[in-house]
């Protein structure tokens, strides 16, 4: 028991998997953690986390960073110069939710392509978007993919697709970055190791603080030269931390104990999606729910999604509106099957009340 289970009896909070609190095992590891000054490279717990993350992600080296946003920013800045172009999806988290940091801090020009419903980019379109060598054009340096794809419903990009994207990037002298905030969910859903899924990627940023329940932190991984540049950038961005072993200790527990259990979250997400599909007033394709993110639409005529979420919250269930008709529910460790049942009952009541 970590206290969080008691809290979830009063409210079912489905706004995000970032709400997960550290486990008892994490708190014990944090209390015991041996520490040193990580800016000097002398924190043994941070060093152990970085070695473990590099191994799990199949890369030569890794770096502990305060957030996924900083992990992506560092990864892009380490691989692109000012005026260079990066190709990414118009629904990519990097493009949509990171304040344009790569442009703001690095002068990197985003070249967006439409994401397909499954989160992928059409590789023929990617190839066509790669700039020729011409004095008029910027230089294309990087392709960025997202796996699982957040705005595309937590969809998983498969091994063959990831390999094909890497092959295209490398054939054209580009590098491939993967925003793998939820790469652990992708790997569990596919039944492959993250290392295999990322075999062709030059860099990856992966969150420890979402479904894996660590309180803080992400890791970036890649080759040694990339990580050396990433380490310099982390310092410049103010992300050099001192006795960070206190939080890295929780990250080690996250990688060792919390990955396989994500399958439970995926099963509960399917339970929620199937239940929602049976309700009048909800539109959802439950077969598209592959991991822990459940996006659905409110049918028209029907309540505005913001009003729906406010009314649902009064019934003890919190979700997020994504548009006038769209709603997102995120399954995580504090949401058990009984809470899914409670959620479905609350959604049904809320829709009935709105229709009355």
How distant is the alpha carbon of residue 100 from its chain centre?
Answer: 17
What span, in angstroms and rounded, lies between the C-alpha atoms of 61 and 142? 20
Q: Output the six-digit token pair for 85.
A: 């172009």
What span, in angstroms and rounded, lies between the C-alpha atoms of 274 and 67? 33
Return the sign of the alpha-carbon dihedral for residues 116, 120, 121, 124. Answer: negative
Residue 146 interacting with ligand PLP (CB under 6 A): yes
Task: Please give the size of the binding site for ligand PLP, defined by CB under 6 A.
Answer: 12
Residue 91 interacting with ligand PLP (CB under 6 A): no
Please list, in sequence order, all residues whose beta carbon lies within 8 angstroms of the beta carbon of residue 278, skipping any fewer than 6 positions away.
Answer: none
Question: Angle at CA 196, nearest 5°, toward 91 and 121?
Answer: 25
Decide whether 45 or 218 has the Cβ nearer to ligand PLP.
Answer: 218
Q: Output the six-digit token pair for 138.
A: 């910027």
In this structure, the number of other CB atoms found within 10 A of the CB of residue 30 comes to 20
In the complex, what is the shortest distance from the CB of residue 94 to ligand PLP, in angstroms, rounded to a whole number? 7
Decide whether 150 or 213 has the Cβ nearer to ligand PLP.
Answer: 150
Q: Is 149 helix (H, G, I), strand (E, B) or coil?
A: strand
Binding mask 14-53 for ligand PLP (x = CB under 6 A): ----------------------------------------
In the complex, what is the shortest distance from the CB of residue 205 to ligand PLP, in angstroms, rounded to a whole number? 7
The residue from 79, 150, 185, 268 that contacts ligand PLP (CB under 6 A) is 150
In the complex, what is the shortest distance from the CB of residue 11 to ligand PLP, in angstroms, rounded to a whole number? 21
Q: Which stretch binds ligand PLP (CB under 6 A): 62-70, 188-196, 238-246, 299-307?
A: 62-70
In the complex, what is the shortest distance from the CB of residue 176 to ligand PLP, in angstroms, rounded to a whole number? 16
Instruction: Specify whether the CB–CB gap between 191 and 158 falls below 8 A.
Output: no
The contact set with ligand PLP (CB under 6 A) reads 67-69, 72, 93, 146, 150, 179, 181, 207, 209, 218
């Amino acid at each position: 028991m970590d206290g969080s289970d008691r809290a979830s009896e009063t409210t079912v909070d489905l706004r995000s998997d970032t709400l997960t609190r550290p486990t008892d095992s994490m708190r014990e590891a944090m209390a015991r953690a041996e520490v040193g000054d990580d800016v000097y490279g002398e924190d043994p717990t941070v060093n152990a986390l970085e070695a473990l993350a590099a191994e799990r992600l199949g890369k030569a080296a890794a770096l502990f960073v305060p957030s996924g946003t900083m992990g992506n920013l560092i990864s892009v800045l380490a691989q692109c110069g000012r005026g260079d172009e990066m190709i990414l999806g118009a629904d990519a988290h990097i493009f949509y939710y990171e304040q344009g940091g790569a442009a703001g801090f690095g002068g990197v020009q985003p070249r967006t392509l439409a994401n397909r419903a499954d989160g992928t980019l059409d590789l023929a379109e990617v190839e066509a978007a790669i700039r020729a060598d011409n004095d008029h054009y910027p230089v294309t340096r990087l392709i960025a993919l997202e796996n699982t794809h957040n705005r595309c419903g937590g969809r998983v990009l498969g091994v063959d697709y990831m390999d094909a994207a890497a092959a295209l990037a490398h054939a054209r002298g580009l590098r491939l970055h993967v925003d793998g905030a939820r790469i652990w969910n992708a790997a569990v859903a596919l039944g492959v190791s993250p290392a295999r899924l990322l075999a062709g990627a030059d860099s990856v940023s992966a969150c420890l603080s979402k479904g894996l329940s660590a309180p803080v932190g992400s890791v970036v991984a890649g080759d040694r030269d990339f990580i050396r540049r990433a380490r310099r950038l982390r310092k410049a961005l103010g992300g050099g931390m001192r006795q960070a072993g206190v939080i890295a200790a929780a990250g080690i527990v996250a990688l060792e104990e919390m990955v396989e259990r994500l399958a439970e979250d995926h099963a509960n997400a399917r339970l929620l999606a199937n239940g929602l599909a049976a309700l009048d007033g909800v539109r959802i394709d439950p077969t598209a729910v592959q991991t822990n993110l459940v996006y659905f639409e409110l049918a028209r005529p029907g309540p505005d999604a913001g009003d729906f979420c406010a009314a649902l919250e009064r019934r003890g269930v919190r979700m997020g509106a994504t548009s006038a008709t769209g709603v997102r529910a995120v399954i995580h460790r504090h949401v058990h099957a009984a809470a899914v049942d409670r959620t479905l009952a609350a959604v049904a009541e809320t829709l009935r009340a709105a229709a009355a």
